[in-house]
Amino acid sequence: MQYIKVDEALWASSMLPEGILERWFIASGDTVKAGERIAEVRVEDALHEIVAPADGRATIVATANAVIEPGSILATLESQSA
């Protein structure tokens, strides 16, 4: 199992210690491909896309509109390999 986290680098130029998980582009249980856009987070006025780090079945952990911090876990990813 892999964790899909918010990259701490998104806060490199931010003065705020947190952001908002704006929306999901997938539903919990969906199968995703590496590089697929799965969520969008807002840090200050900037929107950032979160992409799947690998192929697998995503299980959403954080809800839309949740306050997130650097390194927050957004979802888990189960490998679909045989």
d(CA 76, CA 2): 6
- This prediction has a pTM of 0.87
When comparing pLDDT for 16 and 53, which is higher?
A: 53
Give 68's pLDDT tier (boundaries 50, 70, 90). Answer: very high
**What is the domain extent for residue 60?**
2-78
Across 69-76, average pLDDT: 94
The pLDDT value given to residue 54: 94
The pLDDT value given to residue 49: 95
**At 59, is the secondary structure helix, strand, or coil?**
strand
**Which pLDDT tens digit goes with each residue over 31-55?**
999 999 999 999 988 899 999 999 9
Q: How many helices (H) and strands (E) does the chain have?
A: 0, 8
**CATH value at residue 45:** 2.40.50.100
Across 60-64, average pLDDT: 96
